[in-house]
Amino acid sequence: MTLPKTIDLSAMKSGGLIKQKEKDFFAIRLRTPVGKISADHLNKIAEVSRKYGNGKLHLTVRQGIEIQGVTFDQIQTARDELEEAGLRIGACGPRFRVATACPGAGICPNGLVDSAGLGLEVDETFFGRAEGLDLPHKFKVAIAGCTSCCPKPQENDFGYQGQIDPELIEADCDSCGVCEVTCKEGAIVMGENGLPIRDQSKCIYCGDCIKSCPTDAWVPKRVGLAAYIGGRFGRHPELGKKLADFVPPEKALDLIRSVLEFYKKEGKRGERLGVTVNRVGLDEVKRRVL
Amino acid sequence: MSENEIDDNLDLRGVLCPINFVKTKLKLEEMQAGSTLEILLDKGDPIANVPRSVKEEGHKIIKVKKEDGDFFRVMIRKS
């Protein structure tokens, strides 16, 4: 098969084109950060799949979409058509990958922070940018809006999870005891004076007491992000380690930037961030990035 | 109208989320503004979720009382 003249080889290097097992066929991986996609874009993807692919799509485990069965000589035309409609191509290889997140506070009743909004910001800031290219290995980020951690931030190289620190306005408490039975951590017991007592060492900052309180006596003292570092799956899975609690949302991008700088400097080629962190030591990593 | 006067009630013990909330919502819709609904909710998810959702709909939780037998008596004032 001859190389089509129109193919942009530098574009191929940026990733997002996955060679299939079958000769001359590729899958086009789309960049759909936080899995949010418009119905119009879905229509366009369907159209491109029918026109240039085999009419089949793959929903990836990272909230992405891949158009399968595109022949080598059609890739560029398919790409152009997708990009014209505002659809972008995803990544593979040692790069900052498309960020994943849950719908977050705007949609989910459990959400404590706008994880999807932050995910889009993270993606826009680091994907395909100098800071997110030429890394030792792939770099995955996931952002969860609450302590349920549906997008699995601890299984990513870097993860954020929303958290909330509760405070009791005693005058508003009518001693109903709902917080005591709602707290899944056993961190709240009703005291003899009828007011709840919170054991901070057991509290995981989930905010269930705030959300369930019928009289709004539990209120948020601060809202922030728990940061996890060095998680991965694959052959040797390891959960990410807690890097920090209550990172202010406005500092969220800065911390990722510091971690990427650290990883570029200390990570050996082919080494996931978790391995680098284990080698250097978490305390030293904290000293360097926080 | 006194705080403890009840206009209607629903026993939602044994009813799972979100059916318990939907039943509460439907009942509130057929009631007059300012009237009081008493509901019985199991501990666990029902007591954690239903009052919160009722609040989000704009109604007021007037009183919550823990009863023997792992359930709660919740008084709601319709907005």
Task: State the pLDDT confidence band at A168, using cuts at 50, 70 and 90.
Answer: very high
A2, part of any domain: no
Tell me, yes or no, whether A115 and A251 share the same domain: yes
Instruction: Tally A–B CB contacts below 8 A.
Output: 39
A234 touches chain B (CB under 8 A): no
Question: Does A229 have pLDDT greater than 70?
Answer: yes
| Residue whose pair of structure tokens reads 């620190």 in the numeric block | A165
Q: Which of A116, A149, A115 is CA-nearest to residue A224? A: A115
Q: How far is B49 from chain A (nearest CA, A)?
A: 6
Q: What DSSP line would sit under A234-271, residue for residue?
A: TTS-BPPEEEEEEE-GGGHHHHHHHHHHHHHHHPPTT-
Tell me, yes or no, whether A59 and A191 share the same domain: no
Task: State the pLDDT confidence band at A242, using cuts at 50, 70 and 90.
Answer: very high
Distance of alpha carbon B14 from alpha carbon B23, whole angstroms: 13
In chain A, residues with a C-beta closer than 8 Å to the C-beta of B50 are none
A4, part of any domain: no
Q: Are A157 and A274 in contact (CB under 8 A)?
A: yes
A118, part of any domain: yes
Active site residues of B: 17
For residues A170-176, give the mean pLDDT. Answer: 94
Task: State the pLDDT confidence band at B6, using cuts at 50, 70 and 90.
Answer: very high
Tell me, yes or no, whether A175 and A155 share the same domain: no
In chain A, residues with a C-beta closer than 8 Å to the C-beta of B65 are 176
Tell me, yes or no, whether A254 and A156 share the same domain: yes
- For residue A136, what is the domain's CATH number? 3.30.413.10
- Hey, what are A177's tokens? 């005891």
Q: What is the dihedral of CA B12, B15, B17, B20, to 10 degrees?
A: -30
Residue-number span of the structural domain to which A175 is assigned: 168-217
Distance of alpha carbon A16 from alpha carbon A92, whole angstroms: 6
In chain B, residues with a C-beta closer than 8 Å to the C-beta of A176 are 63-66, 72
- For residue A213, what is the domain's CATH number? 3.30.70.20
A129, part of any domain: yes
Q: Are A165 and A219 in contact (CB under 8 A)?
A: no
Task: State the pLDDT confidence band at A102, using cuts at 50, 70 and 90.
Answer: very high
Distance of alpha carbon A192 from alpha carbon A60, whole angstroms: 53
A38 touches chain B (CB under 8 A): no
Tell me, yes or no, whether A147 and A61 share the same domain: no
Distance of alpha carbon A164 from alpha carbon A248, whole angstroms: 11
> Which helix (H) or strand (E) is B22 found in, with range?
helix B19-29
Lowest mean pLDDT among A110-119, A194-203, A254-263, B43-52: B43-52
> Which helix (H) or strand (E) is A198 found in, with range?
strand A196-198
- Hey, what are A102's tokens? 């849950």
DSSP, collapsed to helix, strand or coil, labels residue B31 as coil
Question: Does A247 have pLDDT greater than 90?
Answer: yes
Tell me, yes or no, whether A241 and A151 share the same domain: yes
| Residue whose pair of structure tokens reads 């789309």 in the numeric block | A30
For residues A203-225, give the mean pLDDT. Answer: 95
CATH top-level class of B8-77: alpha beta
pLDDT at A13: 60
In chain B, residues with a C-beta closer than 8 Å to the C-beta of A219 are none
* End position of a domain, from candidates A89, A114, A145: A89
A114, part of any domain: yes
A205, part of any domain: yes
* End position of a domain, from candidates A51, A68, A89: A89
Which residue among A178, A211, A216 sits closest to B72, beta carbon to beta carbon? A178
Task: State the pLDDT confidence band at A2, using cuts at 50, 70 and 90.
Answer: low
**Interchain proximity A109–B53, CB inside 8 Å:** yes
Tell me, yes or no, whether A60 and A181 share the same domain: no
* End position of a domain, from candidates A34, A64, A89: A89
Q: Are A100 and A161 in contact (CB under 8 A)?
A: no
Main-chain dihedrals φ then ψ at residue A249, nearest 5 degrees: -50, -35
Q: At what angle do helices A115-126 and A252-266 cross, to 10 degrees?
A: 40
Tell me, yes or no, whether A14 and A80 share the same domain: yes
A95, part of any domain: no
Tell me, yes or no, whether A85 and A157 share the same domain: no
- The domain total for chain A is 3
**Interchain proximity B63–A174, CB inside 8 Å:** yes
Residue type, A78: A
Q: How far is A196 from chain B (nearest CA, A)?
A: 14
Query: In chain A, pLDDT over 70 holds for what percent of residues?
Result: 95
A3, part of any domain: no
Which residue among B43, B55, B61 sits closest to A181, beta carbon to beta carbon? B43
The separation between CA A109 and the C-alpha centre of its own chain, rounded to angstroms, equals 19
Tell me, yes or no, whether A31 and A113 share the same domain: no
pLDDT at A152: 98
Interface of B with A in 12-51 (CB under 8 A): 43-44, 47-49, 51
